[in-house]
Amino acid sequence: MRRKKKWDYYKNSDKAMTQKTNNNILEVIQVENLRKHYNGTYNGIMALKGISFSVKRGEIFGLLGPNGAGKTTTINILTTLTPPTSGVAYVNGYNINTKPDKVRASIGLVFQETTLDTHLTAEENLYLHALLYGVNKKDFITRKREVLKLCELWERRKSPVSQFSGGMKRRLEIARALIHFPKILFLDEPTVGLDPQTRNKIWDYIFTTKKQKGTTIFLTTQYLNEAEACDRIAIIDYGKIIALDTPENLKKMIGGDIITLRTADNEKAFAQIKEKLPQCKIKRIGKEIQIEVATGEEFLPSLIKTITPKILSLELHHPTLEDVFLELTGRKIRENNTPDTEDIFSFNLKSLLALFKNNNHKNTNGH
């Protein structure tokens, strides 16, 4: 009886979705209250705790979060590799539970780990994939050239994959995922372990694919600068989506500038700032003090004048997605993380303090 009710739910949902599909829906991915509970190996951990979101046709949608947040589980469910414990999702208008074959025919997928056959050549890997997706030989010849040219591997099409570098293998996997011209391309952390130059190349291919084919891109990442390139991002943490918007709108949650400093006595410095500069938002994060102010450059002289403990480090930057994640969770997205964005002002403390003292001295002499 219980199974029948669940089936009826999916059946009725399919009818509603079919009507929407016929009306050319804008959302090619729709997720409602998706949950995934792992037993046994995972000690009964709830990997997804009722997430809901939608992805618009033709956009680059990013799922941003730390390792273990639920990113890969989400992709595995949407690509029908693992069933959800509960909830419902539609990909290209098809229910992932009742029409998995239709879903698979609509998508391309690049896994986090390499899945190429290294004993085959580049074009043989593409040919095998095309056969599995029912691409006829005539179309394959045209598409093979197109995707290999896009990923700059045309000249190496006859080479065994075993001779490819890590970056070349990743590019070939993207070409393989595009060989059947999918409506939606899923990329699970596509640039992990790649050097910055190769990462930039991969993004060039992603942008070109979106522009030329109108392909919807769904990707997971823990790199903040990659999330910045998405049209919209959902921030996921411990199996829950805690924010979803454009990168710019998410950064507006912070407002103003961020000052991060470390002193010889943070307790004393924190108390001095809180007492004498009550207009700013201040908090302690590990061994650092973080201050949010409207205009950082104008605020710095007052800050330096207020603090009596020796300043060991000081940084001023505009809000980043790292700051958004920190604001929402109270921790950084990756431990020992280095900034991914270049929008950071670095100061030489000695020069800054000397400049402040000189200006203060001039003002005193002026009086």
- Tens digits of residue pLDDT in 24-54: 668 999 999 999 998 854 566 899 999 999 9
State the total domains in the chain. Answer: 2
What is the structure's pLDDT at 43?
A: 60
255 vs 4: which has the higher pLDDT: 255
Per residue in 321-341, pLDDT (tens digit) is 988 988 888 787 865 443 333
Residue 83 CB coordination number (10 Å): 12
The residue assigned the tokens 């939606």 is: 184
For 229-262, letters b (16+ CB in 10 Å) and e give bbebbbbbbbbebebbeebeebbeebebbbbebb
What is the structure's pLDDT at 101?
A: 95
**Residue 194 confidence class, pLDDT cut points 50, 70, 90:** confident
Average pLDDT of 132-153? 93
Say yes or no: 214 and 266 in one domain.
no
Q: Is the pLDDT of residue 19 over 50?
A: no
Domain boundary among 215, 250, 285: 250
Say yes or no: 213 and 357 in one domain.
no
Residue 36: domain span: 2-250
Say yes or no: 229 and 80 in one domain.
yes
- 71 burial class (0-12, 13-18, 19+ CB within 10 angstroms)? buried
Contacts of 65 (CB under 8 A, 6+ apart): 71, 220, 222, 235, 236, 237, 333
The residue assigned the tokens 């990013």 is: 62
Say yes or no: 289 and 144 in one domain.
no
CA 87/CA 47 separation, integer angstroms: 13
SS3 276: helix
Average pLDDT of 287-314? 92
CA 139/CA 180 separation, integer angstroms: 9
Per residue in 355-367, pLDDT (tens digit) is 444 444 544 455 4
The pTM (predicted TM-score) of the whole model is 0.76
Say yes or no: 173 and 34 in one domain.
yes
Q: What is the percentage of the chain residues whose pLDDT exceeds 90? A: 59
Say yes or no: 131 and 195 in one domain.
yes
Q: Is the pLDDT of residue 280 over 70?
A: yes
Domain boundary among 227, 250, 273: 250
What is the structure's pLDDT at 340?
A: 37
Per residue in 205-235, pLDDT (tens digit) is 899 888 888 899 999 998 888 899 999 999 9
Say yes or no: 266 and 238 in one domain.
no
Say yes or no: 94 and 56 in one domain.
yes
Say yes or no: 225 and 81 in one domain.
yes
DSSP-based helix, strand, coil % in the chain, nearest 5: 45, 25, 30
Q: Is the pLDDT of residue 186 over 70?
A: yes
Say which CATH number the domain at 171 has.
Answer: 3.40.50.300
Q: Is the pLDDT of residue 95 over 50?
A: yes
Q: What is the percentage of the chain residues whose pLDDT exceeds 70? A: 83
Say yes or no: 230 and 268 in one domain.
no
What is the structure's pLDDT at 337?
A: 41
CA 16/CA 118 separation, integer angstroms: 44
Average pLDDT of 173-194? 91
What is the structure's pLDDT at 9?
A: 43
Provide the mean pLDDT of the chain: 84
Average pLDDT of 67-76? 93
Cα dist. 193→162, 221, 257, 352 in Å? 18, 12, 31, 38
What 298-301 contacts at long range (C-beta under 8 Å, 24+ apart), as own/partner pairs, is: 299/257, 299/259, 300/259, 300/352, 301/356, 301/359
CA 143/CA 137 separation, integer angstroms: 10
Say yes or no: 8 and 44 in one domain.
yes
CA 346/CA 58 separation, integer angstroms: 38
What is the structure's pLDDT at 196?
A: 85
Contacts of 98 (CB under 8 A, 6+ apart): 10, 11, 14
Beta-bridge partner residues of 56: 27
Say yes or no: 54 and 151 in one domain.
yes
CA 86/CA 269 separation, integer angstroms: 50
Domain boundary among 250, 271, 306: 250
- 264 burial class (0-12, 13-18, 19+ CB within 10 angstroms)? exposed
Query: Can you list the alpha helix ranges (DSSP code H) found in the chain?
Result: 2-22, 71-78, 100-106, 122-132, 137-150, 166-178, 196-213, 224-228, 247-251, 266-276, 296-306, 321-329, 349-366
